[in-house]
Amino acid sequence: MDRNTVIGMLLIVAVLFAFNWLNPRKAPVADSDDVETVASTTQPPSSIDSLTSTEKEWLVKNILENGETVILADSTRGARLNDGAISLTAVRDSVSGTVTVDGRTLNWADVCRGDLGKMTVAEQRKAIETVRNASTSMGRYGKFARFLSGNDSVLKIENDVLKLELSAKSGSITRAELKKYDTEYTPDESQKRKEKVVIFEGNSNSFSFELPLPQPVNTADLYFTPSVLNDSTILMSLPLGKEAYWGIEYTLPRGESYVVGMRIVQKNLGGIIESNNRNLGFNWHQDLIRQEKGKMFEERNSALYYKFAGGSVENLSESSNKSEERQAKIRWIGFKNQFFSSVIVADRPFNTADFHSQVLKNDPWLLKKFDTSAVVNDYDWNAAQPAAFSLFLGPNLYPLLSSLDHHTVADEDLKLTKLIPLGWSIFRWINTGVVIPIFTFLGSFISNYGIIILIMTIFIKLVLFPLTYKSYKNQAKMRILAPDIKEINDKYPGTENAMIRQQKTMALYNKAGANPMSGCLPMLLQMPILFAMFAFFPSAIELRGQSFLWAKDLAAPDAIISWSGNIPLVTQYFGNHISLFCLLMTVTNIIYTRINMQNTPGQMPGMQWMMYLMPVFFLVFFNNYAAGLSYYYFLSLLITIAQTYAIRYFVTEESVRKTMAENAKKPKKKSGFMARLEEMQKQQQAMMREQQKQRKR
């Protein structure tokens, strides 16, 4: 490095030194909020916390606007925030009071100063965070924010049939017990318990409303103030000050009523709540508790139901997970078990509703999960009673539900009886018009339902006896004509003589006064009754828990032999037991099949084998069904066999031959059917002759 370079570098260093000495660097000045912000982001974890000036302003504003109005000793008007842990009073632009942290009550002024001589850093920071969260909640939920914390309490109300528990937390019914019904199910069969049916309790059910505030709040998150208005009415209210409140009023009438009145009540809210939202949200969740011994039928008959306002009743799938969204007016929503239901009926229909159903396959206590989200529109903050509902919590008893159809909501038929599955239209008509009235009438003075089923079976068989008698006489005629029919078949063999055989056979039937279809027609007329009873017995709550002979519950299978374990297909369709009434029904059915085949000669061997196979199929199919159904079919078959032998005794073959001979002497007038049949036969013969001529050419 030469001398000039060294001199140049020294000159540069000298200039830089002189510049820094003449222009000292000043630190930038920040406002207080920036200082606090920087401090809060750079301070170590052990340092104190504080509210910013903006947060302090919002705290004062939120307490003054949404807190409880108070008059201080010097007649100054202020407002108080008191939610248990926080007790702060705002006056003008200042806040004073206390904050409780981990059991210690701290002065708010000391907390704001960060006086570590009176608290630890952790306590000070926790106090600040508690107040900050409370202020944020008040900003979001307004006057309802104070009800986000509180003390829970349980109130009870009951009548002769229903016992309810209401919780201050959520202000809703949290337990519903039916006093006249015992649960039939327990996972441990060694526990011989007799507890009352509880439709829901605890977290298995939740009713809540979503209040239409600028920031919606769910009533499930709020703590209500309970008030007992009288021995049948409880009010769950949220006192908002200035004699203003919002609440839910529950009324359970005395006596034997399963319907709870549920009204939204409010007062002086028009000037307090400023909201243009006029939709009241309704949310309902329920875990369906298992009540019966037979899970297959309880699961099959449990579903989420709903009814369109002025329309039909629909339901979600009973066997699979399902979701539906309905953009229509819904009158009621029901969560249905096999024998018990929870139904909410809206005086003013829900405007829209979303439904969800989930099947719980492996839960020992629960069957399904139901969820509903609905909306009632045109909610009016100025109305004293903006919405009202009726809540049915009770048994699926047809006379009971029928009596409620026209009384809960006056302007339409509620069709609550649709909760009871009684089969398709014709079968349902038989059940509602004939079977249920007889069953109810007999049950009014006979306590043993096994005897009631016996009497009802005898009554039905007597009503059907003329059809049975006609069927037997026709079978006797067909049995007598069997040799003559065989002679015709032998005389005119082959397919080319099929029409001649048919003509000769029909002529023989006409001469003897026999009709091959008259034996089937009476049986076809009896089928609707058989199918109606098939739908009735699994749905008849009257049979639930009723014992008869060895059957402890006529609404469940009467297992005499049971085994543990899961055998593929066998357990799914047959179960893990053998039902005695079902076994007796099968044996009786085989005997009846044998007798019936003797009365109907000429059947093909393959058909005979099928006839014997059907009773075995019924054994597999009915083994899991209610004992009452198998008992009814057993009695019906037994009485039919007795009728058959009685008719055979009084209606001899000689008398039938005599009747046939008398019919043969009478001049025969062709019926319209026979005339058309003969005309069709002639046309077919002409076509066959023409075809034969064509072949010869």
3-state secondary structure 486-535: HHHHHHCCCHHHHHHHHHHHHHHHHHHCCCCCCCHHHHHHHHHHHHHHHH
- DSSP-derived 3-state class of residue 143: helix
Q: pLDDT band for 18, please (50, 70, 90 cuts).
A: low
How far is residue 292 CA from its own chain's centroid? Answer: 15
Q: pLDDT band for 26, please (50, 70, 90 cuts).
A: very low
| DSSP H or E segment with residue 69 | strand 68-71
For the cut 90, the answer to whether the pLDDT of residue 184 exceeds it is no
Mean pLDDT (whole number) for 361-372: 89
For the cut 50, the answer to whether the pLDDT of residue 84 exceeds it is yes
Inter-residue contact 159 to 235 (CB < 8 Å): no
Lowest mean pLDDT, pick from 293-297, 304-308, 444-448: 293-297
For the cut 80, the answer to whether the pLDDT of residue 1 exceeds it is no
Closest to 167 (Cα-Cα) out of 218, 211, 222, 209:
222
Dihedral angle computed from the Cα positions of residues 563, 569, 573 and 579, in that order, rounded to the nearest 10 degrees: -20
Number of neighbouring beta carbons within 10 Å of residue 103? 5
Instruction: State the sign of the Cα–Cα–Cα–Cα dihedral 489, 495, 497, 502.
Output: positive
Beta bridge partners of 60: none
pLDDT (0 to 100) of residue 673 = 53
Q: DSSP per residue over 543-567, as a string?
A: GTT--BTTBS-TTS--EEEE--S--
pLDDT (0 to 100) of residue 298 = 86
How far is residue 505 CA from its own chain's centroid? Answer: 58
Q: pLDDT band for 29, please (50, 70, 90 cuts).
A: very low
Closest to 680 (Cα-Cα) out of 506, 494, 492, 493:
506
Closest to 449 (Cα-Cα) out of 220, 223, 627, 204:
627
Burial of 411 (0-12, 13-18, 19+ CB in 10 A): exposed
Lowest mean pLDDT, pick from 217-221, 289-293, 493-497: 493-497
More confident residue, 68 or 422: 422
Inter-residue contact 62 to 80 (CB < 8 Å): no
For the cut 50, the answer to whether the pLDDT of residue 145 exceeds it is yes
Q: pLDDT band for 397, please (50, 70, 90 cuts).
A: very high
The token pair at 575 is 């179960």
pLDDT (0 to 100) of residue 668 = 55
Lowest mean pLDDT, pick from 28-42, 282-296, 540-554: 28-42
Mean pLDDT (whole number) for 118-129: 89
Inter-residue contact 66 to 78 (CB < 8 Å): no
Q: pLDDT band for 6, please (50, 70, 90 cuts).
A: low
More confident residue, 304 or 604: 304
Residues 318, 323, 325: CA angle, nearest 5 degrees = 130
Closest to 415 (Cα-Cα) out of 429, 395, 434, 401:
401
For the cut 70, the answer to whether the pLDDT of residue 516 exceeds it is no
**Separation between Cα atoms, residue 691 and residue 697, nearest integer Å:** 10
Number of neighbouring beta carbons within 10 Å of residue 538? 21
pLDDT (0 to 100) of residue 654 = 66
Tokens 């001199």 found at:
7
Percent of the chain with pLDDT over 70: 75
- DSSP-derived 3-state class of residue 116: coil
pLDDT digit string (tens) for 32-69? 344 333 333 344 445 678 888 888 888 888 888 888 78
pLDDT (0 to 100) of residue 685 = 64
pLDDT (0 to 100) of residue 85 = 84
- Domains in the chain: boundaries: 48-148, 154-421, 433-664, 673-697
More confident residue, 21 or 582: 582
**Separation between Cα atoms, residue 100 and residue 83, nearest integer Å:** 11
Average pLDDT, the chain: 80
Mean pLDDT (whole number) for 126-150: 85
pLDDT (0 to 100) of residue 304 = 95
| DSSP H or E segment with residue 33 | helix 32-42
Plot region of 170 (φ>0 → left; ψ -120 to 50 → alpha; else → beta) = left
Percent composition of the chain: helix, strand, coil (DSSP 3-state, to 5):
45, 25, 30
pLDDT (0 to 100) of residue 31 = 39
Mean pLDDT (whole number) for 345-350: 90
| b/e burial code for range 373-402 (CB count within 10 A of at least 16 → b) | bbbbeebebeeeebbebbbbbbbbbbebbb
Beta bridge partners of 425: none
pLDDT (0 to 100) of residue 395 = 95
The whole model's pTM is what?
A: 0.76
Burial of 496 (0-12, 13-18, 19+ CB in 10 A): exposed
Q: pLDDT band for 299, please (50, 70, 90 cuts).
A: confident
Plot region of 166 (φ>0 → left; ψ -120 to 50 → alpha; else → beta) = beta
Closest to 295 (Cα-Cα) out of 338, 336, 356, 341:
338
Q: Which CATH class is domain 154-421?
A: mainly beta
Number of neighbouring beta carbons within 10 Å of residue 408? 20
Q: What is the DSSP letter of 223?
A: B
Q: pLDDT band for 569, please (50, 70, 90 cuts).
A: low
**Separation between Cα atoms, residue 650 and residue 181, nearest integer Å:** 49
Mean pLDDT (whole number) for 263-277: 79
For the cut 60, the answer to whether the pLDDT of residue 231 exceeds it is yes
Lowest mean pLDDT, pick from 23-32, 239-248, 362-371, 465-474: 23-32
pLDDT (0 to 100) of residue 49 = 80
pLDDT digit string (tens) for 460-508? 888 888 877 777 777 766 666 667 777 777 777 766 666 677 777 776 6
pLDDT (0 to 100) of residue 447 = 86
Sheet with 352-359: strands ordered across: 217-218, 205-211, 280-289, 366-376, 352-359, 322-326
Q: pLDDT band for 659, please (50, 70, 90 cuts).
A: low
For the cut 90, the answer to whether the pLDDT of residue 371 exceeds it is yes
